[in-house]
Structure 1
Amino acid sequence: MKAVVFEDVGRPGIHDRAVPSFAPDEVLVRVAATGICGTDRAILLGEYPARRGVVLGHEAVGAVAGAGAGVGSVAPGDRVVINPTYHCDRCRLCRRGLPAHCGAKAGREVGVDRDGTMADYAVVPERFVHRLPASVSYRRGALVEPLACVLNNLAAARPRWDDRVLVVGAGPIGALCALVLARRGARVTLAERDQGRVALARLLLPRAVRVLTAEEAAGAGRPDVAIDTTGALPGDVLGAMADGGTVVVMGEKEAGVATVPLRSLVTRGIRLVGAGPYRPADFALAVDLARELPLEDLVTHVLPLERYAEALAMLAVAPAAPATGGYSAMKVLLTTDEGVAP
């Protein structure tokens, strides 16, 4: 099979790999589509740690191609979406009800230190595959995993019905946050520095979402809730909050640092939250919500796996990135299935 492999920082490559074998409790998935995530981008830019030689990708849908003897919940031919976030259910954190922070993840994170889904086939334990609802296309289902991330962070933000909500960053995660918030009836503003992404967000998101440049957002009033999907601006966001507000830092950058004025934080009653990875329940909820949310509206490009370099260039990943360094896509899918329409 073909697979996109992390060779080194700034150097992905397509390799020939054997179709992986599977254990009695595992499922072999014929991957139909994999979304390129900000984490994949960060790995290639050296901003997120990953094992060299690992197959990239974790936002995946496909069909069961084989199942171990102990597998009973799915069968060959079933359409599924993969939950790539491992939890053991046995360690202290799992037993305390914190499976998102499982202490046994090392070596088991799909697309990071366990082979991922930018390939023709992927193997995952049975309990990490979910059947896709019949009404959910592969194109829509490929955004279930990022939707689970969003649901987890919105739960941490706890916005009230009358809150003014600011989402920082108009990439796929920021756009998903805004889409879900608008669907709930929230007053949501999406702020972005990159002009290309501002234009895409204005084109793709419903009119209920106010999309502003960073300069416009600075004069748009103090939000009650802010979700920083970039991981780079929590200090700036904290200074712009209304008293009693909440800031959720959702984006992850290995070198991200913020200087926080503690007196202001305390006297103004600002809550700073890191939600961490999503829980299994968040993923199951995302699968269910995919029945009604038009997630596919955020997919701007679908390319065959072999054109991975072109896909990465759309997301400003070197060495194929455009000289401007800007973005020319929102969510990009890599596919091995001609049925996933471009």
Structure 2
Amino acid sequence: MKALILNERRTVSLVDHPKPEASAPTDVVVRVVQTGICGTDRSVLVGKFPAEPGVVMGHEAVGFVDAVGSAVTAHKPGDRVVINPTLYCGSCPSCLRGHWDFCANKAGTEVGLDLDGAFAEFIRLPERFVHTLPEGMDFDRAVGVEPLACALNNIEAGRLEAGETAVIVGGGPVGVVCAMAARHHGARVLLIEPDPYRQELCRKVFAQDGDGRVTVHTPDEAEPARRGDVVIDTVGSLLEQSLGYAAARGRVVIMGYNSKATATVRPLEILQRGLQIIGAGDYNSQLFPKAIELARWLPLERLVTHRFPLERHEEAFAALAASPGTPYSALKVVLVPE
């Protein structure tokens, strides 16, 4: 099969790669229809997040079941499915306490980072990480389910309530999904994005709703009087700015993954303003079915602005400013095996 693998130089190459087989009883092999490029994928290529050279990248995948192992009962060939790439062992102390997102046996199970992922024609995963799509949900909406699970995890960690104000820092795809989910929770949402192109894309996404509960701002336009009860840093490197956007007794959630990010905070300010800084970690896989259900009501397909075949992967990543000197020219990009 064709697959995009990570090179030592932090670039990807399209190669012929062995097709995965349902070799274990619980294996499910999925024929990939499309895979979203995640901010984490971009972070790997620009040096902000680690991954194992030689791995097939990609994890936001939807497709059809191609083959199943002898013990699989929940799926059959031809089923339309979405992949949950946040694996867990189920037997370590954290998993036994239900904290699957803090599984102690993550090494070798990070889909698209150190376990072969979905920028390929086929992907193999254990049955419990493959979920049937609701009838009538198209693949463009379904490809947003995994980012939605991430958003729900951070919104729940921030304990966002109806009537509160949420400030979402970063207007990339996951920021937009966070804004959609926060709006669904009954919050007023300020989405902050410095890039003019992405600002316009974000405004188009929410202009279709017409209720004004999500507004898009530049960092300079974020007025101090309009601070958030919950602030979510979807970029992962803007903690200091995010604290400035928080209201008294606000909760600031660090969401974006950036292994090189550092921040300087003033403990006295946190104390006097009653602020909380929250790290939610990966989502617990118990959230994934909830994200599938919520996706019935959210127009996640609006995120998809570009699609490319695997052969045009350089253009796809360039649209997300993953190449030196290139600006953003897309919101959500999906790669399609052809």
CA contact (8 A) 2:161 2:185 kept: no
Q: Which amino acid aligns with 1:133?
A: P
Tell me what 1:340 maps to: none
CA distance in 1, matches of 2:100, 2:115: 18
- Residue 234 (structure 2) aligned to one of 218, 225, 229: 229
Tell me what 1:282 maps to: 287
Residue 235 of structure 1, CA deviation: 1.2
Structure 2: which 5+ residue stretches go unaligned? none
CA distance in 1, matches of 2:85, 2:162: 32
Alignment of 1:283-298 (within 5 A): 283-298=288-303
Tell me what 2:259 maps to: 254
CA distance in 1, matches of 2:279, 2:317: 28
Tell me what 2:272 maps to: 267
Tell me what 2:112 maps to: 111
CA contact (8 A) 1:9 1:43 kept: no
Deviation string, structure 1 residues 305-339 (Cα, Å, up to 9, x no partner): 211111111001125xxx4x3211111111126xx
CA distance in 1, matches of 2:76, 2:292: 18
Residue 180 of structure 1, CA deviation: 1.4
CA distance in 2, matches of 1:87, 1:116: 16
**Alignment size in residue pairs:** 333
SS of residue matched to 2:175:
helix
Q: Which amino acid aligns with 1:286?
A: A
SS of residue matched to 1:56:
coil
Residue 20 of structure 1, CA deviation: 1.4
Stretch deviating more after TM superposition (31-40 or 153-162): 153-162
Alignment of 1:112-127 (within 5 A): 112-127=113-128
Stretch deviating more after TM superposition (41-50 or 203-212): 203-212
CA contact (8 A) 1:9 1:45 kept: no
CA distance in 1, matches of 2:269, 2:256: 23
CA distance in 1, matches of 2:183, 2:161: 13
SS of residue matched to 2:171:
coil
1:313 aligned to 2:318?
Answer: yes
1:216 aligned to 2:221?
Answer: yes
Residue 218 of structure 1, CA deviation: 4.3
SS of residue matched to 1:210:
strand
1:300 aligned to 2:301?
Answer: no
Tell me what 2:7 maps to: 7
Tell me what 1:152 maps to: 153
CA distance in 1, matches of 2:72, 2:248: 52
Q: Which amino acid aligns with 1:15?
A: V
Q: Which amino acid aligns with 1:299?
A: V
Q: Which amino acid aligns with 2:142?
A: G
CA contact (8 A) 1:244 1:271 kept: yes
Residue 9 of structure 1, CA deviation: 4.0
CA distance in 1, matches of 2:33, 2:161: 38
SS of residue matched to 1:293:
coil
CA contact (8 A) 1:135 1:291 kept: no
The percentage of counterpart residues that share the same residue type is: 47
Stretch deviating more after TM superposition (217-226 or 279-288): 217-226
Residue 236 of structure 1, CA deviation: 1.8
Q: Which amino acid aligns with 1:131?
A: T
Structure 1: which 5+ residue stretches go unaligned? 338-342
TM-aligned CA distance change 1:74 to 1:208, over 3 Å: same
Residue 183 of structure 1, CA deviation: 2.5
TM-aligned CA distance change 1:286 to 1:240, over 3 Å: closer
CA distance in 1, matches of 2:48, 2:273: 33
TM-score (norm 1): 0.94
SS of residue matched to 1:159:
coil
Q: Which amino acid aligns with 1:14?
A: L
TM-score (norm 2): 0.95
Residue 219 of structure 1, CA deviation: 4.7
TM-aligned CA distance change 1:10 to 1:113, over 3 Å: closer
Aligned-pair Cα RMSD in Å: 1.3
Residue 270 of structure 1, CA deviation: 0.3
Residue 40 of structure 1, CA deviation: 0.5
Residue 258 of structure 1, CA deviation: 1.1
Stretch deviating more after TM superposition (272-281 or 213-222): 213-222
CA contact (8 A) 1:238 1:247 kept: yes
